[in-house]
A and B are shown apart, each in its own frame.
Chain A
């Protein structure tokens, strides 16, 4: 205990020293921690595009560093500490599972700014959280899924049972159900963010059960590769990144996470000293969530409806969670015409009415 304390103090001292040195050099160092490899063509790839945008925007004035495939848990804390010690001025931790590690390390390095993606804890004044309203894109995918399914079975590959994923499942199901009351949703939890073979197996298990539209919340293109083997019978969506190599089918559209504007803005704020701890949650309206091109595999009328929904969401005239919506147990969540408050969404731990199965604890 004593030694750990000593180490923490030493780390703090070093961090201050390095932080000071970096400031003296007038070069801001932005660091990124990724949960998968940057070559995953999905989640981590998009965050890395954000890093490249930061480098591009500030050129010589900024120095960037990143570490990929960092496990969520104790390792993350070690990596973050190392980054803080190495003179990073701002550290972006880009996965939900880094939440506690980010807050713990932030307390030890008050002069370093921390930005945690998709979490909900801000325990130190130097921690910000940011997220994107992926559920807006999921709603549009659900609409397409409901219209396109021939077996009336649609699927969703979940990663971990966290609010962000549950939100996606609910939005997807609600909008499929709205246009196709007979639709049934199958959820498979892969319990991993990145394991191509397992993601493919999950997709395969669904296809064997007759599912013909698959949305995935894991990071690789493996579910699309599996869907491609069926020769057009099964469609899916690009997740986090465009995944354009599976166009025009099975990938009929995609949710693209565009982190670049946020990263560029926040690093800029560190440079001019205006950085503040915030809770940012942008969506389609600001361009942080983009809808990838809807291919010709989707009928023209469905495509038009999907684009209309996208525009309505962007204009703020439509909220994907608009009542009446009941919870899975039948109790009322949103009354007629009410829209979901952000707090409810960020802590979402329930399925909406009609989805079968339980959420793992």
Chain B
């Protein structure tokens, strides 16, 4: 069944395939931990994809391109922050609107950039390490963003679990009234979380347009943002599980295409639905084991906060 598929190459490509959803999921996880539900991930991703692409093409530097992507995502998320944190608009509606707006705006911005090739993002030079069979292919043959995505997960996990800032962020997400009573600036913290989420989604989007598919096309993210949103929920708001979810999803997507290319006898219908099915199944089973506490969302998720209330 696995005849002809090189496991090293497969693992290497699943890591690459998962980077966009992983960035977006980790960003959204922080946003939701702060008690804000931003459904605009898809919109922020595609904004990041187009602004990152434009920056990279104009400056000729992929690194600046990724910075531009993160900035583009963050700027769009600022709109969401103003709507929900300042004007107290409904978060679900604002998030959905953000996606629609992002899709339209990106298409407008990208009009002059269709059919252009961006500068190539080089792999991190590990020298002879990359030549080690299997391990070299899996661990030492990637571009910097692949490592950065794993570092981002580790960083978010460490900050949320072990630092004062992480504790404050979680407090804001669990009970904004209590956090406010303790003197924390609930809205300011939430705006910062939203900006972080936007930047991460933008980075993920830029990865799609600069590395995964090095080109700009309307609608290039094709729903990756929604997958990221789902992964945050199924990962029960835990960073490492989000990594697992993203890798499972990306991995099985790549695996099923490889199985098809290798001429497996498994019907294509089952292969095509397997990424969705298996990712959800695994994450649900993992969170069902330890009772309801493990499933719990941040208690203030999706609720607006106003100090006068």
Contact = CB atoms under 8 A, between A and B. Distances in A.
A194 B219 contact: yes
A205 B218 contact: no
A201 B9 contact: no
B269 A361 contact: yes
Contact of A197 (B9, B17, B116, B260): B17
Interface string B196-227: 00000000000010001111011111111000
A46 interface: no
Nearest to B268: A360
Interface string A203-221: 0111011010000000011
Given A202-B257, A357-B263, A69 B219 contact: yes
A104 interface: no
B180 interface: no
B60 to A, nearest CB: 18
A346 interface: no
Residue from B4, B115, B219 with most neighbouring chain A CB atoms (10 Å): B219
B253 interface: yes
A63 interface: no
A161 B268 CA distance: 10
A358 B270 CA distance: 13
Contacts of B208: 196-197
Contacts of A196: 208, 212-213, 215, 217, 220, 222
Contact of A189 (B17, B217, B260): B260
B261 interface: yes
B222 A198 contact: yes
Interface in B215-263: 215, 217-224, 253-254, 257-258, 260-263
Interface in A327-361: 356-358, 360-361
B218 A37 contact: yes
A30 B219 CA distance: 25
B304 to A, nearest CB: 31
Interface in B5-37: 5-6, 9-10, 13, 17, 20
Interface in B179-207: none
B114 interface: yes
A307 interface: no
B17 A38 contact: no
A358 to B, nearest CB: 7
Nearest to A191: B272
Interface in A21-75: 36-41, 68-69
Contacts of A228: 117, 214
Given A194-B219, A194-B222, A39 B114 contact: yes
B261 A39 contact: no
A222 interface: yes
B166 interface: no
Interface residues of B, number: 40
Contact of B261 (A41, A191, A194, A208): A208
B107 interface: yes
A221 B224 CA distance: 18
A122 to B, nearest CB: 29
A155 interface: yes
A201 B257 contact: yes
Interface string A92-131: 0000000000000000000000000000000000000000
Contacts of A38: 218
A41 B217 contact: yes
A205 B261 contact: yes
B267 interface: yes
A234 to B, nearest CB: 13
B161 interface: no
Contact of A245 (B10, B17, B115, B261): B115
A197 B222 contact: yes
B61 interface: no
Nearest to B110: A39
Contacts of B220: 196-197
B90 interface: no
Residue from A199, A206, A208 with most neighbouring chain B CB atoms (10 Å): A208
Contacts of A201: 13, 17, 253-254, 257
Nearest to A211: B261
B222 A155 contact: no
B111 interface: yes
Contacts of B262: 209
B218 A39 contact: yes
B1 to A, nearest CB: 14
Contacts of B268: 161, 189, 191, 358, 360
B15 to A, nearest CB: 13
Contacts of A39: 107, 110-111, 114, 217-219
A358 B260 CA distance: 10
A285 interface: no
Nearest to B120: A229
Nearest to B272: A191
Top 8 nearest A-B pairs (CB, nearest first) are: A37-B218, A39-B218, A360-B268, A245-B115, A195-B222, A205-B257, A196-B213, A205-B261
Interface of B: 4-6, 9-10, 13, 17, 20, 107, 110-111, 114-117, 208, 212-215, 217-224, 253-254, 257-258, 260-263, 267-269, 272
22 contacts: A36-B218, A39-B110, A39-B218, A68-B218, A188-B260, A191-B272, A196-B208, A196-B213, A196-B222, A198-B257, A200-B212, A201-B13, A205-B260, A206-B261, A208-B9, A211-B261, A221-B215, A222-B215, A222-B217, A225-B117, A225-B215, A229-B214
Given A194-B219, A196-B222, A208-B13, 9 more contacts: A189-B268, A196-B217, A199-B213, A201-B13, A205-B258, A209-B262, A226-B213, A229-B214, A245-B117
Interface of A: 36-41, 68-69, 155, 161, 186-192, 194-202, 204-206, 208-209, 211, 220-222, 225-226, 228-229, 245, 356-358, 360-361
